A and B are shown apart, each in its own frame.
Chain A
Amino acid sequence: EPEVTQTPSHQVTQMGQEVILRCVPISNHLYFYWYRQILGQKVEFLVSFYNNEISEKSEIFDDQFSVERPDGSNFTLKIRSTKLEDSAMYFCASSVFGGNTEAFFGQGTRLTVV
């Protein structure tokens, strides 16, 4: 069964450093998303991406964040200068169509900022 894959599974970084989280969505999906989940809390929307541009972003997704689809398969989330409060599990998701259809989640990247 096709699935969304994310790398790395765990990333430890020093405060102020840049990190790039990588995702390979399911191949025939057109809509891509990043969510985050701080330990013990709910899953929060960060950004949606379609047709090579951001469709929507949340208040969390400030100027320190960016997304890119550098080639036909990868979808990346970059955090330019990490803060302690960026520590969370980051989930990538994809769907064939947009709203009203199932989003498939990757297994997540646990980001720890020290």
Chain B
Amino acid sequence: GENVEQHPSTLSVQEGDSAVIKCTYSDSASNYFPWYKQELGKRPQLIIDIRSNVGEKKDQRIAVTLNKTAKHFSLHITETQPEDSAVYFCAASKDRSASKIIFGSGTRLSIRP
């Protein structure tokens, strides 16, 4: 069935360094890939998304890349700050009515001061 794998499950980086989270998806029909940030006890919040017709998208310190052939996509956070500490989920969805979002298992990112 549809599946999204996410690695690593935990990631600790020094403040100011970069963090990279990687995901793979199984359903080749997936064409929308959102990334969510979830702080403890809070709702998932969309931080960036990418559609299958582009290979890369950037928004300030956050960038996502997509390799459709390999069914890989990644989140890159540069110049990390303490407020970047959270759980990050990658996800995949298809372009059709009421399409569900399939979430990865999450990455707990900790920023060391």
Contact = CB atoms under 8 A, between A and B. Distances in A.
Interface stretch (A11-19, A45-53, A63-71, A75-83): A45-53
Contacts of A99: 32, 93-99
B89 A100 contact: no
A76 to B, nearest CB: 17
Nearest to A58: B100
Interface of B: 31-32, 34, 36, 42-46, 49, 51, 89, 93-106
A102 B46 contact: yes
Given A105-B44, A108-B43, A31 B102 contact: no
Contacts of A55: 97-98
A43 B95 contact: no
Given A43-B44, A43-B101, A102-B34, 20 more contacts: A31-B97, A33-B98, A33-B101, A42-B89, A45-B103, A48-B98, A48-B99, A55-B97, A58-B100, A91-B43, A98-B97, A98-B99, A99-B32, A99-B93, A99-B95, A100-B31, A100-B99, A102-B49, A103-B34, A106-B43
A98 B105 contact: no
A105 B87 CA distance: 16
Contacts of A42: 89, 103-106
A56 B98 contact: yes
B43 A100 contact: no
Contacts of B45: 105
A107 B93 CA distance: 21
Nearest to A91: B43
Given A105-B43, A105-B45, A100 B94 contact: yes
Contact of B101 (A45, A50, A106, A108): A45
A91 B101 CA distance: 13
Listed residue (A31, A50, A105) with the most chain B CB atoms within 10 angstroms of its CB: A105
A91 B46 CA distance: 14
A33 B100 contact: yes
